[in-house]
Structure 1
Amino acid sequence: MRPVHDIDAIILMATTLSSKRRPAELVEIVAAADLLQGSIPFVEKLGEAIQRLSTLGLISAAEGRFGLTPAGHAIMAKQRKKADTEELIIGVRSSLAAHNPTEHCAPIDLPPEQLVAAIQAHKATRKAPGKNLLMPKPKLDRHFKAEGRWRRVPAPR
């Protein structure tokens, strides 16, 4: 039995999130992992997770972009749609533990310089004044009363 790490589930979920319409760049996967986890993964853990997932045949790379393979789509399709992030990580981890690849796939080995460049690019876009769609929206600080209720006329007795 092989060990399944939390970062594997997060990277698989981040790849799913960032490659919905087209294969994603490494920066987009890092941004999606930051959105899901709340922090940017370490360079070594990110590289090892991509290598493990590609060896299992769940992530593929073409022309510097990453996407899910049909086996990866099958694992993500099994997950509950209304689950929160923690439940989803647990579900993906259990699916990864139960996954048995039929064939051995070539691992994707990314140099640490490329991983560091992707993390630095994400940090730079996070500080930029532009709009980053992968970052969560800030919650509005509402007053404890619903707006406009204090203006209503009280009901007659």
Structure 2
Amino acid sequence: MTPEAREARWSAALHVHGRRVTRQRLAVLAAVEQYPHATADDAATAVRADLPHITVQSVYVILADLTDIGLLRRIDTPHSPARYETRVGDNHHHAICTGCGRIEDVDCAVGHAPCLTPEWSPGARRMTIQIAEVLYQGLCDDCRSAAPSHH
């Protein structure tokens, strides 16, 4: 997809959600799309390549707003700042390497979204599940092969 087509797609999405199309919003969306699972600081660094005067605080505010309206998804992982991605609405999961911190997308674990049917504890007040967030943790192939073997 061309940069112009991406910008047109994001502009239309912003309009649908009642937001003005600004260079700052478009730059944040482009940065997160280019660097999936980006932290706010990663996004700010990428945005500053085109908009050198934008503040980190502005990027945080834009990320929060775009997450609130559903154009971005916030991922909270252990021992790491929040990360953001443009892949929304499909209830996919994530795998994180406990060695290097790399994050990979994992499609739905079982069946249809929300993927997991909870076993309710006796006496629990049931609820309708809309999203199941699963975080797989382990070593990626690179970290596993670099680890010393224990014989």
Normalising by the residue count of structure 2, what TM-score does the alignment of the two structures yield? 0.38
Whose RCO is larger (CA < 8 A, sep 6+)? 1
Q: Which has the higher strand share?
A: 2
Q: Which has the higher helix share?
A: 1
Normalising by the residue count of structure 1, what TM-score does the alignment of the two structures yield? 0.37
Larger Rg: 1
